[in-house]
Amino acid sequence: MNPVLEANGLTKRFDRVTALENISFKVSGPTIVGLLGKNGCGKTTLIRQLMGLHLPSEGSVSTLGRPGAELGHDELASIGYVPQEIRLLDWMTVGQHIHYVANFYPRWDGEREQRLLDELEIDTEALVGTLSSGNLQKLAIVLAVCHHPQLLVLDEPVSDLDPIVRRKLLELLLELMRDDAATIVVSSHVLRDVEKVVDRVICLDRGRLVTDAALDELKELYAEWLVVSDNGRLPEEFSESFLIAQQGNGREARLLVKDASTELASFSSTHSVSVSVRPLNLEEIFPVLIGEQL
């Protein structure tokens, strides 16, 4: 099966700035991929490469089996895209705009359109230029999903949405993956939301790919150990190789560990401590992935 998205040694430079460096990955659907990273790490640049807006300086990128720069009618008809910065036709009403865009897609789903308009409470009579940023984001989502895309790319899709709409959007993403067998790429800083839906995490840091793994794997890999001394005194510092970070006050300590589930018993006996393990959520794992520990 051809991968939906594929990057091989992808590098993108803008003048002297290297925005992406030697990025390689494959995504085969259906799945939901979370694209994470700090501001300016290259997420949007990577998305624009995948969408064929930017061309690689080195390496290659393909979307639905074709190079990004050569996406044609069939591929575009199977892609939905919600950019971070949304600019639509301000002078049209919401209804006119949806009608305009619908004309371009052979599989436009009027029922889904109506359901989303109702659920997201979008006024079809309003002029697009008068919409708030949140409503503009909702409209962009409606425009991106009603043609049953095989690939849906969302760049910061929830940044301006209220919690209720965010929840609805997440439900929608799961529905899309289930009903349309879609592959979905979500770039977002709202990691608590992302965590609820993503299967896989791709993390960028300063233009380089630092993590490409299933979310479950990451959750198994990283954990926090809460350590209490059995005899009232902990060493000043633990030196085990699986330790990423540690904080303590002599009697109790919080240890951030990586791939250490098999080491728990020996650690407890060696240091005469009681250890309780707390799994980390994505928001806590993220700083570790980009090298910024607790």
Partner 1 sequence: MRKSLQAFFLIMGRASVFWLGALGVFILSLLVTGLAEPDRTFIEHYADSVFVAAFAFPAGAGLLAGAVIQEFQHTTFATFLPAIRFRLATGFMVTGLLVSLVVVGLIATISSTPHDLAVLFAVGVGAYCLGGILIDPLSGWMTSLNVTLVLAVILSSHQLDLIAGEHPWPTFMMSIGVAAFSVSRLFARATFRRKPFRVTAPLPGRFSLEKTHQYRRHKMIQGGPVKSGWLTGYLGQNMWLWTRAAIHETYGAHVLKTFLKAVARAWPLVPLFLIYAWEDKGEMRFSEALAKSLNDALFRSPFQPQFGEHGGPYPMVMIVIAVAGILTALLSPVALGGALSYPLSRFQRATVQFRGGLADTAILLLIASPCLLAIGHLAGWFVGYEIRFDFMPFFLRVLLLTLVLMPLGYWGRVQLQEATWRKTENKLVGLILGICGFVVLVGFLTLVVTQLFTSPIMELGVLSIAVLVSRMIYWRSLVSFYTTADLA
Q: Does 126 interact with partner 1 (rule: CB under 8 A)?
A: no
Residue in the structure block whose two tokens are 């290259």: 42
Q: Which is nearer to partner 1, 72 or 232 (CB)?
A: 72
Report in angstroms how near the CB of residue 269 gets to partner 1 at its nearest: 58
Considering only residues 141 to 160 of the shown chain, the ones binding partner 1 according to CB under 8 A are: 143
Report in angstroms how near the CB of residue 209 gets to partner 1 at its nearest: 23
Q: Of the ranges 34-42, 82-90, 171-179, 212-220, which one interacts with partner 1 (CB under 8 A)? A: 82-90
In whole angstroms, what separates CA 142 from the centre of its chain?
19
Helix extents (H) in 150-258: 163-180, 191-197, 215-221
Q: Which is nearer to partner 1, 14 or 91 (CB)?
A: 91
Q: Does 264 interact with partner 1 (rule: CB under 8 A)?
A: no
Long-range contacts made by residues 128-134, C-beta under 8 angstroms, separation at least 24?
128/88, 128/89, 128/90, 128/91, 128/92, 128/93, 128/94, 128/97, 129/90, 129/91, 131/94, 132/160, 133/160, 134/160, 134/161, 134/162, 134/165
Name beta bridge partners: 204.
37, 209
Q: Does 52 interact with partner 1 (rule: CB under 8 A)?
A: yes
Site string for partner 1, 10-49 (x = CB under 8 A): --------------------------------------x-
How many Å apart are CA 250 and CA 182, to the nearest integer?
A: 51
Report in angstroms how near the CB of residue 262 gets to partner 1 at its nearest: 48
Report in angstroms how near the CB of residue 83 gets to partner 1 at its nearest: 5
Long-range contacts made by residues 214-219, C-beta under 8 angstroms, separation at least 24?
215/34, 215/282, 218/282, 218/285, 218/289, 219/279, 219/280, 219/285
Report in angstroms how near the CB of residue 126 gets to partner 1 at its nearest: 13
Contact residues for partner 1 (CB under 8 A)? 48, 51-53, 55, 69, 73-74, 76-77, 79, 81, 83, 85-91, 96, 100-101, 103-105, 127, 129, 140, 143
